[in-house]
């Protein structure tokens, strides 16, 4: 199927552009957001409202020397940043932005995203191991145990949704929730979710897990700068660091997309079909929702202090996993009843 | 929380924290022998910015040594000014006018609040929260502006003179300080909501970094560290100096001995300092700020003199031995952080590195004061 192959290549190209632009301007948003929360203007020097800051940063990163410290495992050291970036890119292929904007709606889209997310976790391990730095080593051990701990509740919650919509295809999952917010999966009082009152809790679990999966504050133990200097990317400079950074923001976008698709009705208008309003189902709604979620990510990051590694693991193993398992069983039972 | 584990000595590695590390706030170095993320043993290494301040005192005249006091604890330089002025005034029997005493108290307490604000911001930064730092520095900026207008400098003050002050305060300072008190009360409520009540913060601080009374006494810890461990000792009240006995203020004491207790002590101290400043502004007498009669050349009679003040970090004592000359024969500085820091080696054994660094932050270390 050469046409499909062409489609995929085109999609990856578009995904790279989308991810690149997002990474660059999410950094800007993050800094502006931080400024908003911290009584300061944020970047203001380059361009109006500092809008030219991201390209300038990009040029700076690319023109810096990529320093490879002595004693590192060169091959592993070099492959880690790539490994951080590309799974996120590939995952965009299957994300439906609208009913007709999707690169390749494969039937196991959910599985694919999780497979590549796990690969992203690998990059942290590899970076920490290859750097031959004690801080990086501790950080990568932390990051991997964190990724493993949070992938489990994330997957269990996703399985709940998959049971409700009966498909692993992300487009189909959205198709079941088209309409106003009362037909989204987060809303408990509907037949579709079996009147399961725990659906908002489920959403919360998914949200917390995607914050933890992307190593964002307050779960940024992998790069806890006051303990581990810069964690797994301590030894990286230039674009090596840049790729980690872009990978992080790409993962944030993926996390937000997944949250929106699974629980918030994807590209559906929140108030349903108003009749006179032409954009009932539109990519704009999808983008609006993911950026709202990302704003909450930023908001959380600049408000809370960091947890500790045991607090983080306890939260996952003692609370999130049991609750999500219980919710899975409850949903299965309720779906059988209704 | 953390389960008690047996640490094994044969499976350790050494983690070199510092002298350039974000959590040590300066050039403190800690050699940590780690078993995984647990600390088996820690050894603090000092002296990276040792500048021989005590020896300098022997080579400078008494007034020439005053600027050195701003360079020890750069966050509460005013208290150190006060300590040195006190010891020389005691030695030479110089009377301080009442107005000068009141202004001294106002500036010292303003400086104490500024110091605690830096601690609060940096501490929450240690714990991973970046935003309170900006709020704290915003509030501290108000204090620095006030003090800059009066003293001429923003950080390393050299405002005190033997027997008085460099210059008098003006009406702008008084109205500005009153406005600041009003603002700060509101801000403290905001900090209580944003930081103190935060569940992550409480979980990270409560029960962590325990320091008991016995340990405080063995190491000579003072200030908020000792008061967080239930030792009710504050130089301002227990060995009163200046005009402190005329003010009504409380000394916050918590018995838990954990990081959270030390945190609360400092937060309440800010409130108490505001109270002291308010009272001092109300009672502020008129008059000169420098004594009419003052020896042209400071030459204390031979003898052994001591004065102690309460800085933001604890008891700062100066012992001065004079042989009747223009320079001190020997000047010994007993700085609070030096004693407080030494708790760290013993108390952090068996802690996780994250908790240990949170504990270190709660001791409020200022490295230049420790290395001197």
pLDDT at A279 over 80: no
Cα–Cα distance, B242 to B262 (Å, whole number): 26
Least Cα distance to A88 among A210, A184, A183 occurs for A210
CATH code of residue B159 = 1.10.645.10
Q: Give me the mean pLDDT over the B229-251 stretch.
A: 87
In a domain, residue B344? The reply is no
How far are the Cα atoms of A37, A146, B12, B65 from residue B5, in angstroms, in the given order? Answer: 41, 21, 14, 51
User: What pLDDT sits at residue A1?
Assistant: 46
Of residues A331, A112, A81, the one with CA closest to residue A203: A331
Portion of chain A with pLDDT greater than 70, in percent? 95
Structural domain contains residue B68:
yes
Q: Would the pLDDT of A268 be above 80?
A: no
Q: What is the mean pLDDT of residues B102-125?
A: 90
Average pLDDT, stretch A156-177? 85
Contact between A335 and A164 (Cβ < 8 Å): yes
Contacts of B209 in chain A (CB under 8 A): none
Please choose, from the candidates A96, A71, A113, A82, the residue with its C-alpha nearest in 3D space to the C-alpha of residue A11: A96
pLDDT band at B180 (very low <50, low <70, confident <90, very high): very high
pLDDT number for residue B6:
66
Residue A281 backbone class (left: φ over 0; alpha: ψ -120 to 50; beta: rest): beta
The whole-angstrom separation of Cα A272 and Cα A179 is 4
Q: Is A301 helix (H, G, I), strand (E, B) or coil?
A: helix
Q: Is the per-residue pLDDT at B300 higher than 80?
A: yes
CB neighbours of residue B327 within 10 Å: 18
Which residue from A83, A77, A165, A78 is spatially nearest to A117, judged by alpha carbons? A83
**For residue range B15-43, what is the model confidence (pLDDT) as tens digits?**
888 788 877 777 888 888 888 788 888 88
Residue B351 domain-assigned (yes or no): no
Q: Which domain holds residue B72?
A: 52-338
Contact A226 B126 (CB under 8 A): yes
Sign for the pseudo-dihedral over CA of B353, B358, B364, B367? positive
Q: Are A174 and A265 in contact (CB under 8 A)?
A: yes
Whole-complex ipTM? 0.80
Residues of chain B with pLDDT > 70, as a percent, come to 98
Confidence (pTM): 0.86
* Interface membership of A132 toward B (CB under 8 Å): no
pLDDT given for residue A115 in this prediction: 86
Judged by a CB distance cut-off of 8 A, whether residue A220 touches chain B is yes
Given a cut of 60, whether residue A2 has pLDDT beyond it is no
Contact B128 A217 (CB under 8 A): yes
Q: Please compute the mean of the pLDDT values over residues A157-170 and round it to a whole number.
A: 86
Q: What is the DSSP string of B69-127?
A: GGGTSTTSHHHHHHHHHHHHHHHHTPPPPHHHHHHHHHHHHHHHHHHHHHHHHHHHHHT
CB burial of B243-271 (b: ≥16 within 10 Å; e: otherwise) equals: bbeebebebbbbebbbbbbbbbbbbbbbe
Judged by average pLDDT, the poorest of A190-199, A291-300, B349-358 is: A190-199
Number of Cβ within 10 Å of residue B19's Cβ equals: 17
Identify the helix (H) or strand (E) that includes residue B161.
Answer: strand B160-161
pLDDT at B5: 60
Report the range out of A269-283, B218-232, B288-302 with the highest average pLDDT. B218-232
Q: How many Cβ atoms sit within 10 Å of the Cβ of residue A269?
A: 19
B117-137 pLDDT tens trace: 999 988 888 888 888 888 999
In order, the DSSP letters of B254-296 are: -SS-SHHHHHHHHHHHHHHHHHHHHHHHHH---S-SS-SS--S
Supply angle C-alpha B148, B152, B155, rounded to 5: 65
Query: A7-16, A318-327, B67-76: lowest mean pLDDT where?
Result: A7-16
The answer to whether B86 and B78 are in contact (CB under 8 A) is no
Query: From the list A40, A135, A304, which residue is nearest B200 (CB)?
Result: A304
Give a yes or no: residue B272 inside a domain: yes
pLDDT classification of B115: cutoffs 50, 70, 90: very high
Q: Check if the beta carbon of residue A98 is closer than 8 Å to that of residue A282.
A: yes
In a domain, B363, yes or no: no
Residues B278-299 have a mean pLDDT of 85
| DSSP SS3 for B354 | helix
| Residue B21 is assigned to a structural domain of this protein | no
Average pLDDT, chain A: 82
Whether the per-residue pLDDT at B181 is higher than 50: the answer is yes
Name which of B296, B315, B276 is nearest B110 in CA terms: B276
Per-residue pLDDT of A209-235, as tens digits, reads 888 888 777 787 777 777 777 777 888
Provide mean pLDDT across the span A52-72.
Answer: 85
Q: What is the mean pLDDT of residues B163-173?
A: 87
Asked if residue B190 is part of any domain, the answer here is: yes
Q: Partners of B306 in the beta sheet?
A: B319
Q: Do the chains contact at A38 and B134, CB–CB below 8 Å?
A: yes
More confident residue, A271 or B2: A271
Of B2, B13, B23, the CB nearest to A227: B23
Q: Residue B117: what pLDDT?
A: 92
Q: Tell me the C-alpha distance between A58 and B362, whole Å.
A: 38
Helix, strand, or coil (residue B208): coil
Q: Could you give the CA distance from residue B193 to residue B222 in angstroms, rounded to a whole number?
A: 28
pLDDT at B45 over 80: yes
Q: What is the C-alpha to C-alpha distance for residues B343 and A232, in angstroms, rounded to an integer? A: 31
- pLDDT above 90 covers a percentage of chain B that reads 12
Report yes or no: A324 and A156 within 8 Å, Cβ to Cβ: yes
With cut-offs at 50, 70 and 90, classify the pLDDT of residue B1: very low
Domain presence at residue B5? no
What is the C-alpha to C-alpha distance for residues A327 and A198, in angstroms, rounded to an integer?
7
Widest pairwise Cα distance in chain B = 70
Per-residue pLDDT, A278 = 65
Cis peptide leading into A59, omega within 30 of 0? no
Tell me how far CA of residue A231 lies from CA of A135, A214, A225, B80, in angstroms. Answer: 6, 14, 7, 38
CA distance A49 to A43: 7
* Distances, alpha carbon A134 to alpha carbons A200, B18, B127, in Å: 41, 13, 20
Please give the angle made by the CA atoms of B73, B75 and B81, to the nearest 5 degrees: 60
Q: Reply yes or no on whether the pLDDT at B280 is more than 60.
A: yes
Taking the C-alpha atoms of residue B152 and residue B66, their distance in angstroms, rounded to an integer, is: 15
pLDDT of B114 reads 92
**SS3 of B164, please?**
strand
Separation of alpha carbons B321 and B333, rounded Å: 12
| pLDDT grade for B113, boundaries at 50, 70 and 90 | very high
Please state, rounded to an integer, the average pLDDT across all residues of chain B: 87
Q: What angle do CA B352, B355, B359 make, to 5 degrees?
A: 135
Alpha carbon of B100: minimum distance to chain A alpha carbons (Å): 36
Q: What is the mean pLDDT of residues A183-198?
A: 76
> The dihedral of CA B51, B52, B57, B58: what is its sign?
negative
More confident residue, A274 or A197: A197
Left, alpha or beta for B25 (phi > 0: left; psi -120 to 50: alpha)?
Answer: left
User: pLDDT-derived band of residue A275, with 50, 70 and 90 as boundaries?
Assistant: low
User: In b/e form, how buried is each residue of A291-319, taking b as 16+ CB within 10 angstroms?
Assistant: bebbeebbebbbbbbbbbbebbbbbbeee
Measured between beta carbons, the chain B residues lying within 8 angstroms of A309 are: 37, 352, 354
- Per CB-CB distance under 8 Å, the chain A contacts of B201 are 305
Q: How many domains does chain B fold into?
A: 1
Residue A332, burial from CB neighbour count under 10 angstroms (0-12, 13-18, 19+): middle
B-side interface with A, Cβ within 8 Å? Answer: 1-2, 13, 15, 21-23, 37, 124-131, 134-135, 138, 194, 198, 200-201, 203-204, 352-355, 357
Residue A206 Cα, gap to closest chain B Cα (Å): 20
């Amino acid at each position: 199927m050469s046409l499909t192959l062409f489609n995929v290549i085109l999609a990856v190209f578009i995904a790279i552009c989308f991810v690149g632009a997002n990474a660059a301007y999410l950094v800007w948003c993050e800094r502006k957001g931080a400024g908003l929360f911290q009584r300061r203007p944020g970047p203001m020097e380059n361009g109006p409202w500092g809008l030219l800051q991201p390209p300038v940063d990009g040029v700076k990163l690319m023109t810096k020397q990529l320093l490879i410290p002595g004693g590192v495992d060169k091959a592993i050291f070099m492959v880690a940043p790539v490994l951080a970036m590309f799974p996120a890119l590939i995952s965009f292929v299957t994300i439906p932005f609208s009913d007709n904007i999707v690169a390749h709606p494969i039937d196991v889209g959910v599985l694919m995203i999780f497979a590549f997310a796990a690969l992203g976790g690998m990059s942290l391990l590899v970076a920490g191991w290859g750097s031959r730095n004690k801080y990086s080593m501790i950080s990568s051990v932390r990051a991997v145990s964190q990724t493993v701990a949070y992938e489990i509740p994330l997957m269990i919650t996703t399985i709940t949704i998959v049971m409700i919509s009966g498909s692993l295809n992300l487009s189909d999952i959205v198709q079941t929730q088209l309409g106003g917010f009362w037909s989204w999966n987060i809303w408990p009082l509907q037949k579709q979710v079996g009147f399961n009152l725990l659906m908002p809790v489920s959403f919360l679990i998914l949200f917390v897990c995607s914050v933890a999966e992307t190593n964002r504050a307050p779960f940024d133990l992998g790069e806890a700068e006051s303990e581990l200097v810069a964690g797994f990317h301590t030894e990286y400079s230039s674009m090596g660091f840049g790729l980690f950074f872009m990978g992080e923001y790409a993962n944030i976008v993926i996390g937000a997309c997944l949250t929106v698709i699974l629980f918030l009705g994807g590209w559906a208008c929140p108030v349903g079909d108003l009749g006179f309003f032409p954009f009932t189902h539109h990519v704009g709604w999808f983008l609006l929702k993911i950026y709202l979620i990302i704003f909450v990510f930023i908001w959380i990051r600049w408000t809370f202090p960091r947890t500790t590694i045991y607090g983080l693991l306890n939260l996952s193993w003692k609370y999130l996993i049991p609750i999500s398992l219980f919710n899975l069983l409850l949903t299965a039972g309720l779906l059988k009843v209704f | 929380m953390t389960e008690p584990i047996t640490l094994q000595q044969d499976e350790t590695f050494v983690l070199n924290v510092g002298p350039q590390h974000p959590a040590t706030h300066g050039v403190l170095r800690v050699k940590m022998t780690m078993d995984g993320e647990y600390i088996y043993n820690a050894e603090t290494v000092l002296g990276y910015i040792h500048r021989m301040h005590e020896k300098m005192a022997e080579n400078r005249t008494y007034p020439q040594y005053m600027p050195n006091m701003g360079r020890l604890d750069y966050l509460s330089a005013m208290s150190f000014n006060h300590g040195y002025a006190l010891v020389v005034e005691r030695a030479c029997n110089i009377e301080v006018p009442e107005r000068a005493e009141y202004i001294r108290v106002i500036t010292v307490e303003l400086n104490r609040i500024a110091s605690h604000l830096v601690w609060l911001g940096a501490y929450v930064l240690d714990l991973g929260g970046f935003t309170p730092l900006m709020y704290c520095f915003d509030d501290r900026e108000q204090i620095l502006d006030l003090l800059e207008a009066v003293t001429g400098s923003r950080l390393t003050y050299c405002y005190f003179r033997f027997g008085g002050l460099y210059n008098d305060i003006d009406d702008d300072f008084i109205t500005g300080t009153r406005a600041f008190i009003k603002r700060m009360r509101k801000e403290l409520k905001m900090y209580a909501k944003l930081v103190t009540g935060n569940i992550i913060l409480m979980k990270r601080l409560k029960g962590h970094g325990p320091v008991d009374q016995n340990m405080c006494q063995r190491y000579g810890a003072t200030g908020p560290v000792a008061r967080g461990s239930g030792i009710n000792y504050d130089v301002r009240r227990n060995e009163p100096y200046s005009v402190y006995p005329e003010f009504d203020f409380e000394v916050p004491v918590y018995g838990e001995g954990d990081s959270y207790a030390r945190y609360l002590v400092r937060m309440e101290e800010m409130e108490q300092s505001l109270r002291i400043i308010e009272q001092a502004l109300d009672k502020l007498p008129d008059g000169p700020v420098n004594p009419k009669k003052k020896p042209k050349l400071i030459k204390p009679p031979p003898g052994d003199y001591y004065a102690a003040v309460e800085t933001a970090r604890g008891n700062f004592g100066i012992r001065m031995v004079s042989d009747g000359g223009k320079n001190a024969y020997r000047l010994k500085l007993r700085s609070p952080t030096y004693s407080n820091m030494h708790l760290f080696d013993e108390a952090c054994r068996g802690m996780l590195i994250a908790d240990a660094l949170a504990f270190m932050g709660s001791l409020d270390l200022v490295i230049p004061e420790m290395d001197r």
